[in-house]
Amino acid sequence: MYQLVVMLKAINEIALLALVAQGILYLFAGAKRDTNPIYFLFKTITSPIMKLTRTITPRIVIDQHIGFVALFILLAAEVALIAAKIYLYLEAAGR
C-alpha cells in the first residue's frame, strides 16, 4: 500500500509541476505560446487533469478559471497523499 501511495504521489507531483510550468510559460510566452513546443508538451501532460476538472466543476466556472481549480485539486491531492504516506510509514514502524 505504501508503494502505491508513493507512485500516486510521484504522478501527482509530475502533473503539478507541469501545470505550474505551463502557467509560468503562459505568462512569459504571451500570444505566441501556441507555437511554442515546450508549452505544447506541458499542455499535453496537463490535458487529462484539465478535462477531469472541467467535468467535475459546474458550468458557472468559466474556462479561464479551470487551471486554477485544477491547481487546487492537485495541491489538495498532494496534501492527502503526504498524509497517507506519513500514516502508512508510522503504521509500518509500529507507532
Position 73 scores a pLDDT of 95
Tens of each residue's pLDDT in the chain, 95 residues: 999 999 999 999 999 999 999 999 988 887 888 888 888 999 999 999 999 999 999 989 888 899 999 999 999 999 999 999 999 999 988 87
Could you state, in order of their start, the residue ranges of all structural domains in the chain? 2-93
> What are the grid coordinates assigned to 86, written together?
506519513
Position 56 scores a pLDDT of 93
Residue 6 CB neighbour total at 10 angstroms:
13
Position 30 scores a pLDDT of 79
- In our burial notation (b when 16+ CB lie closer than 10 A, e otherwise), range 17-39 reads ebbebbeebeeeeeeebeebeeb
Position 35 scores a pLDDT of 86
Cell 509560468 belongs to 24
Cell 503526504 belongs to 82
pTM: 0.85
Q: How far is CA 16 from CA 2, 19, 20, 31, 72, in A?
A: 21, 5, 6, 23, 10
Position 34 scores a pLDDT of 82
